[in-house]
Chains A and B, each alone.
Chain A
Amino acid sequence: MSTSLFRATPVARSALRAASAVKPAATFVRGKATLPDLQYDYGALEPYISSKIMELHHSKHHQTYVNGLNSALTTIAEAESKGDFTKATSVAPVLNFHGGGHLNHTLFWENLAPASREGGGNPDGALGKAIATEFGSFESFVKQMNAALAGIQGSGWAWLAKDKAANGKLALITRANQDPVTGNLVPLLGIDAWEHAYYLQYENRKAEYFEAIWNVINWKTVAKRFEA
């Protein structure tokens, strides 16, 4: 995952390879986070998610998280080089917020696809089976996920995740703000419940956004992450 999120330049990549041969600490090379391209046009998720929302969400909001992450990493690297661990530690909340924002949105874009292409429908195969086992049925899963989304107090995300500590059992979880899904939980499908994700189109009617988004869920991506 980190390879797609942190695009190292060719120079940096060869330096990384060289670094693995030498002492890692001596030749630390940092990849820079970059905004990933969408695999569809801004207007491709219409009428479920408007072009204007997609453009702002990707080119402005996500870009801000990328910038914030890079600046947090720079601050930490500089503090580290000076042995200023107080300064490095103080960056933790900003790193979590912007790093989480970058990770979450990157996963989210891949979770979406135009309704005329891979978007919508029901998951089949092993994933479809696991969802039916865990949540009773696909319809029941959608209902539970929508209820979790509606229950978020403030900004946050709901995720379908795989619990590595429980034999890959599926779990429905929510995260506040941009807190990323980490540890034993592997994020499979995330839905952004921040107001910026729907407000221009749905205003205060967020339940309509939660209903609509199922038309553009890319189950292929979810299945791939589930089987990985």
Chain B
Amino acid sequence: MVNLGNIWQNLLASQAPLQAMTGNATTMSGLATYTLPQLPYAYNALEPYISAQIMELHHSKHHQAYVTNLNNALQAHVAAITSNDIPAQIAQQPAIKFNGGGHINHSLFWKNLAPAESPETNYSEVAPSLAAEIENTWGSFDGFKKAFSAALMGIQGSGWGWLIKESTAGTENSRRLRIVTTKDQDPVVGSGEVPVFGVDMWEHAYYLQYLNGKAAYVENIWKVINWKTAEERFQGSRENAFAELKALL
């Protein structure tokens, strides 16, 4: 399997100049190549709540690594399919889930953040229908904030906290909200959930600024939640939430 991966990496490397020339992002296998999305704001735009240094590393290094490793895993997976090698296909699945999840989660995360005091962070102004459902579910915004923060603080190890809208078969028109936590880079896909917004609880998301004080990070993240994006995702469908990812091919 390792050898197979190397072969594909070599193949990819040899194709790189061609891609650069033609601007064609698809490879010989017909697979599209995922790319790192641009941030909708500058690295320092979330200061003082998230430092420019954190944002730059998080986006240009961590997210980039998920994208690179996802593309590699998908290439190896296709090679395994082409050669009818089922063990090799299975061997790629954890890497696809981990790196694909990392790519999905971070892509959603960047868009559900916005500079503090910007119009997008004005909860009651820009998220009227979501706010109504939040108050309907948790009694008040403070009740929701408390429950969500507690969920974030309860994560053991690396993971994410998400506000999701339930959307299983037969409940497509549901407006029911739920707080879920996921481990590592497990994405909120596959079980009929519309991600409304997520918070990255990996240590790399806050450590350079907050050190072991993750409660302070959890407190401050509320200042930079993009409620406009959250409202749009809440009103939309699963397909809408993930449409932006398809555009990143």
A203 & B157 in contact (Cβ 8 Å cutoff)? no
Say which residue of B62, B94, B156, B183 sits within 8 Å of A93 (CB atoms). B156
B61 in contact (CB, < 8 A)? yes
Residues of B within 8 A of A203 (CB): 57, 61, 208
Q: A194 and B203: CB pair below 8 A?
A: yes
A114 to chain B, nearest CB (A): 24
Interchain pairs with CB closer than 8 A, number:
53
Contact B208 A196 (CB under 8 A): no
Residue A200 is within 8 A (CB to CB) of chain B in the complex: yes
Question: Do A204 and B62 touch (CB < 8 A)?
Answer: yes
Chain B contributes a number of interface residues (CB within 8 A of A) equal to 20
Contact A154 B211 (CB under 8 A): no
- Interface status of A177 (Cβ within 8 A of chain B): yes
User: Cβ of A56 < 8 Å from any Cβ of B?
Assistant: yes
Q: Are B65 and A204 in contact (CB under 8 A)?
A: yes
Asked if A176 is an interface residue, CB under 8 A from chain B, the answer is: yes
Chain B residues 173 to 228 lying within 8 A of chain A, measured CB to CB, are 183-185, 202-204, 207-208, 211-212
Q: Are B202 and A195 in contact (CB under 8 A)?
A: yes
Our pick among A60, A153, A176, A194 for the contact of B185 (Cβ within 8 Å) is A153
Known contacts A196-B203, A204-B57, A204-B62: A178-B156 contact under CB 8 Å? yes
A117 to B59, CA, bound (A): 40
Number of interface residues of A (CB under 8 A): 20
Whether the Cβ atoms of B94 and A153 lie closer than 8 Å is yes
Chain A residue, CB-CB nearest to B211:
A56
The interface residues of chain A lying within 8 Å CB-to-CB of B5 are none
B98 touches A (CB below 8 Å): yes
B158 interface residue per 8 A CB criterion: yes
Q: Of B57, B158, B208, B211, which one neighbours A60 at CB under 8 angstroms?
A: B211
Closest A residue, CB atoms, query B183: A154
Partner of A156 from the list B62, B157, B204, B208 (CB cut-off 8 Å) is: B157
Does B157 contact A196, Cβ atoms closer than 8 Å? no
Name A194's closest neighbour in chain B (CB-CB): B203
Q: Assuming A153-B184, A203-B57, A204-B65, is B207 touching A195 (CB within 8 A)?
A: yes
Does chain B have a CB within 8 A of A199?
yes
**Cα of A60 to Cα of B211 in the assembled complex, Å:** 10
Measured between beta carbons, the chain B residues less than 8 angstroms from A56 are 211-212
Chain A positions within 8 Å of B204 at CB level: 195, 199, 204
A42 touches B (CB below 8 Å): no
The reply to whether B208 and A154 contact each other, CB–CB distance below 8 Å, is no
Hey, which chain B residues are within 8 Å of A135, CB to CB?
Answer: none
Cα distance, A97 to B156, chains bound together (Å): 7
The answer to whether A199 and B207 touch across the interface, beta carbons within 8 angstroms, is yes
Q: Is the CB of A155 within 8 A of B212?
A: no
Q: A residues 58-72 with Cβ under 8 Å of B?
A: 60-61, 64
- Within the assembled complex, what's the spacing in Å between the Cα atoms of A61 and B185? 23
Given A156-B157, A204-B61, decide whether A199 and B98 contact each other with a Cβ distance below 8 A. no
For residue B102, give the distance in angstroms from its CB to the closest CB of chain A: 9
Give 1 or 0 for each of B91-129: 1 = CB within 8 Å of chain A CB.
Answer: 000100010000000000000000000000000000000
Q: Which residue of B lies closest to A196 (CB)?
A: B203
Within 8 A of B (CB), among A189-208: 194-196, 199-200, 203-204
> Bound state CA distance, A196 and B204, in angstroms?
8
B212 touches A60 (CB 8 A): yes
**Residues 138-169 of B at the A interface (beta carbon under 8 Å):** 156-159
User: A interface vs B, CB < 8 Å?
Assistant: 56, 60-61, 64, 93, 97, 153-156, 176-178, 194-196, 199-200, 203-204
28 contacts between A and B (CB under 8 A): A61-B212, A64-B212, A97-B156, A153-B94, A153-B98, A154-B159, A154-B184, A155-B158, A176-B157, A177-B156, A178-B156, A178-B157, A194-B157, A194-B203, A195-B158, A195-B203, A195-B204, A195-B207, A196-B207, A199-B203, A199-B207, A199-B208, A200-B207, A203-B57, A203-B61, A203-B208, A204-B65, A204-B204
Apart from A154-B158, A204-B62, 7 more pairs, CB < 8 Å: A60-B211, A97-B156, A154-B183, A178-B157, A199-B204, A203-B57, A204-B61
Q: Which 4 A-B pairs have the closest CB atoms?
A: A177-B157, A154-B184, A195-B203, A155-B157
B-side residues, CB < 8 A to A, are: 57, 61-62, 65, 94, 98, 156-159, 183-185, 202-204, 207-208, 211-212
